[in-house]
Amino acid sequence: MRGRIPARLVRAALLAALAPWCAGCATEIHLRQSAGVVEGGGSGRLLVRVYENRSDRSHDLSTHRRVVAELYRVEGKAEKPVREEKAPRRSVPDLPPGDYVLRVSRWVDDKGVVQKLRHSQDEAFVIRANETTVADVVLSDPKKAWVRVGIGAAAVVGVGCVMAYQAMQNWHPLAGLSFH
Protein backbone atom coordinates (compact mmCIF):
# COMPACT_ATOMS: atom_id res chain seq x y z
CA MET A 1 0.00 0.00 0.00
CA ARG A 2 1.24 3.40 -0.91
CA GLY A 3 1.77 5.84 1.95
CA ARG A 4 1.95 3.30 4.77
CA ILE A 5 4.87 3.13 7.12
CA PRO A 6 6.38 -0.36 7.34
CA ALA A 7 5.81 -1.96 10.74
CA ARG A 8 9.52 -2.73 11.13
CA LEU A 9 10.33 0.99 10.77
CA VAL A 10 7.79 1.84 13.49
CA ARG A 11 9.24 -0.86 15.78
CA ALA A 12 12.79 0.37 15.18
CA ALA A 13 11.79 3.99 15.89
CA LEU A 14 9.99 3.05 19.10
CA LEU A 15 12.94 0.94 20.28
CA ALA A 16 15.27 3.87 19.56
CA ALA A 17 12.95 6.17 21.51
CA LEU A 18 12.80 3.83 24.50
CA ALA A 19 16.51 2.93 24.50
CA PRO A 20 17.56 5.84 26.76
CA TRP A 21 15.34 4.54 29.54
CA CYS A 22 16.78 1.04 29.16
CA ALA A 23 20.40 2.15 29.17
CA GLY A 24 21.04 1.16 32.80
CA CYS A 25 23.15 3.01 35.29
CA ALA A 26 25.69 5.60 34.30
CA THR A 27 28.60 5.23 36.68
CA GLU A 28 31.25 7.69 37.84
CA ILE A 29 34.02 7.20 40.39
CA HIS A 30 35.42 10.21 42.27
CA LEU A 31 38.67 9.71 44.21
CA ARG A 32 40.33 11.78 46.92
CA GLN A 33 43.13 11.25 49.45
CA SER A 34 42.89 11.99 53.17
CA ALA A 35 46.30 12.24 54.84
CA GLY A 36 47.08 11.01 58.32
CA VAL A 37 43.86 9.10 59.00
CA VAL A 38 45.22 5.57 59.19
CA GLU A 39 47.22 4.46 62.19
CA GLY A 40 49.70 1.65 61.97
CA GLY A 41 52.78 0.41 60.28
CA GLY A 42 52.72 2.13 56.92
CA SER A 43 49.58 0.63 55.41
CA GLY A 44 46.76 2.54 53.74
CA ARG A 45 43.01 2.17 53.57
CA LEU A 46 40.32 2.40 50.87
CA LEU A 47 36.84 3.64 51.71
CA VAL A 48 34.19 3.00 49.02
CA ARG A 49 30.80 4.76 49.18
CA VAL A 50 27.95 4.31 46.68
CA TYR A 51 25.51 7.14 45.89
CA GLU A 52 22.45 7.30 43.65
CA ASN A 53 23.40 10.66 42.10
CA ARG A 54 25.63 13.72 42.57
CA SER A 55 23.12 15.46 44.82
CA ASP A 56 23.09 12.49 47.23
CA ARG A 57 26.89 12.51 47.17
CA SER A 58 27.04 16.18 48.14
CA HIS A 59 24.63 15.46 51.04
CA ASP A 60 26.40 12.16 51.95
CA LEU A 61 23.19 10.11 51.49
CA SER A 62 24.03 6.50 50.65
CA THR A 63 21.81 4.46 48.37
CA HIS A 64 20.26 1.05 49.04
CA ARG A 65 21.42 -0.10 45.60
CA ARG A 66 24.57 -2.17 45.50
CA VAL A 67 27.35 -2.44 42.97
CA VAL A 68 30.11 -5.01 42.74
CA ALA A 69 33.37 -3.13 43.28
CA GLU A 70 36.52 -5.05 42.47
CA LEU A 71 39.86 -3.89 43.82
CA TYR A 72 43.05 -4.89 42.00
CA ARG A 73 46.69 -4.27 42.91
CA VAL A 74 48.79 -3.29 39.89
CA GLU A 75 52.14 -5.07 39.75
CA GLY A 76 53.98 -4.21 36.55
CA LYS A 77 51.45 -4.73 33.78
CA ALA A 78 49.42 -7.31 35.71
CA GLU A 79 46.37 -6.67 37.89
CA LYS A 80 46.07 -9.00 40.87
CA PRO A 81 42.66 -9.23 42.58
CA VAL A 82 42.63 -8.00 46.17
CA ARG A 83 38.97 -7.87 47.12
CA GLU A 84 35.41 -7.83 45.76
CA GLU A 85 32.61 -6.14 47.72
CA LYS A 86 28.89 -5.52 47.22
CA ALA A 87 27.94 -3.33 50.19
CA PRO A 88 26.93 0.35 49.59
CA ARG A 89 29.65 1.43 52.05
CA ARG A 90 32.81 -0.53 52.66
CA SER A 91 36.28 -0.12 54.02
CA VAL A 92 39.36 -2.05 52.96
CA PRO A 93 42.05 -1.61 55.68
CA ASP A 94 45.72 -2.62 55.76
CA LEU A 95 46.51 -2.11 52.09
CA PRO A 96 50.23 -1.99 51.27
CA PRO A 97 51.26 1.23 49.52
CA GLY A 98 51.22 0.96 45.74
CA ASP A 99 49.15 1.29 42.57
CA TYR A 100 45.58 -0.01 42.53
CA VAL A 101 42.56 -0.11 40.22
CA LEU A 102 38.94 0.05 41.38
CA ARG A 103 36.55 -1.48 38.83
CA VAL A 104 32.75 -1.22 38.87
CA SER A 105 31.24 -3.37 36.13
CA ARG A 106 28.26 -5.11 37.77
CA TRP A 107 25.32 -4.22 39.99
CA VAL A 108 22.95 -6.21 42.21
CA ASP A 109 19.24 -5.94 41.39
CA ASP A 110 16.41 -5.96 43.97
CA LYS A 111 16.18 -9.77 43.78
CA GLY A 112 19.88 -10.16 44.62
CA VAL A 113 20.91 -11.16 41.09
CA VAL A 114 24.18 -9.69 39.83
CA GLN A 115 23.70 -7.87 36.50
CA LYS A 116 26.37 -6.51 34.17
CA LEU A 117 26.49 -2.72 33.68
CA ARG A 118 26.41 -1.52 30.09
CA HIS A 119 29.74 0.26 30.60
CA SER A 120 32.25 -0.58 33.31
CA GLN A 121 34.10 2.16 35.15
CA ASP A 122 37.77 1.77 36.11
CA GLU A 123 39.80 4.21 38.17
CA ALA A 124 43.50 3.88 38.90
CA PHE A 125 44.88 5.39 42.10
CA VAL A 126 47.78 5.16 44.52
CA ILE A 127 47.55 3.98 48.12
CA ARG A 128 50.02 5.83 50.33
CA ALA A 129 51.22 4.86 53.78
CA ASN A 130 49.02 6.13 56.63
CA GLU A 131 46.43 7.63 54.26
CA THR A 132 42.86 6.84 53.36
CA THR A 133 41.70 6.94 49.75
CA VAL A 134 37.99 7.68 49.43
CA ALA A 135 36.20 6.41 46.29
CA ASP A 136 32.69 7.77 45.76
CA VAL A 137 30.75 5.73 43.19
CA VAL A 138 27.90 7.75 41.66
CA LEU A 139 25.36 5.58 39.85
CA SER A 140 23.48 8.14 37.77
CA ASP A 141 23.78 11.74 36.75
CA PRO A 142 20.54 13.77 36.58
CA LYS A 143 21.91 15.96 33.78
CA LYS A 144 22.61 12.90 31.64
CA ALA A 145 19.19 11.50 32.50
CA TRP A 146 17.45 14.67 31.28
CA VAL A 147 19.41 14.51 28.03
CA ARG A 148 18.28 10.90 27.55
CA VAL A 149 14.67 11.85 28.27
CA GLY A 150 14.90 14.72 25.75
CA ILE A 151 16.29 12.47 23.04
CA GLY A 152 13.63 9.84 23.71
CA ALA A 153 10.83 12.42 23.64
CA ALA A 154 12.13 13.92 20.39
CA ALA A 155 12.21 10.46 18.79
CA VAL A 156 8.64 9.71 19.89
CA VAL A 157 7.39 13.10 18.59
CA GLY A 158 9.28 12.54 15.31
CA VAL A 159 7.68 9.13 14.78
CA GLY A 160 4.27 10.59 15.60
CA CYS A 161 4.72 13.39 13.04
CA VAL A 162 5.76 10.96 10.31
CA MET A 163 2.80 8.71 11.07
CA ALA A 164 0.39 11.67 11.08
CA TYR A 165 1.80 12.90 7.74
CA GLN A 166 1.39 9.43 6.21
CA ALA A 167 -2.19 9.22 7.51
CA MET A 168 -3.03 12.63 6.02
CA GLN A 169 -1.70 11.53 2.61
CA ASN A 170 -4.29 8.76 2.48
CA TRP A 171 -7.20 10.76 3.86
CA HIS A 172 -9.76 11.97 1.34
CA PRO A 173 -12.73 13.41 3.26
CA LEU A 174 -14.81 14.27 0.17
CA ALA A 175 -14.26 10.98 -1.65
CA GLY A 176 -17.49 9.43 -2.83
CA LEU A 177 -19.48 12.69 -2.84
CA SER A 178 -20.80 13.88 -6.16
CA PHE A 179 -21.58 17.47 -6.98
CA HIS A 180 -24.40 17.86 -9.56
For residue 42, the Cα-to-chain-centroid distance in whole angstroms is 35
Compute how many other C-beta atoms are within 10 angstroms of the C-beta atom of residue 108. 14
Q: Rounded distance, CA 81 to CA 102, Å?
A: 10
Asked if 119 contacts 90 with a C-beta cutoff of 8 angstroms, the reply is no
pLDDT score, position 15: 57
> Once rounded to an integer, what is the mean pLDDT over residues 119-131?
89
Residues 133-174 have pLDDT tens digits of 999 988 875 455 556 667 777 777 787 787 778 777 777 666
pLDDT score, position 81: 95
Asked if 135 contacts 30 with a C-beta cutoff of 8 angstroms, the reply is yes
Q: Which residues are CB-neighbours of 141 under 8 A, at least 6 positions away?
A: 26, 28, 53, 54
Higher per-residue pLDDT: 37 or 54: 54
pLDDT score, position 51: 87
Q: Rounded distance, CA 130 to CA 41, Å?
A: 8
Query: Would the pTM of this model clear 0.85, i.e. be above it?
Result: no
Q: Is the backbone of residue 94 left (phi > 0), alpha (psi -120 to 50) or beta?
A: left
pLDDT score, position 80: 96
pLDDT score, position 25: 47
- Quick one: DSSP state of residue 53? S
Read off the pLDDT band of 24 (50, 70, 90): very low
What percent of the chain has pLDDT above 90? 23
Residues 61-106 have pLDDT tens digits of 878 778 899 999 999 999 999 999 888 888 999 999 999 999 998 8
Widest CA span of the chain, in angstroms? 106
Architecture of domain 27-139: Sandwich (2.60)
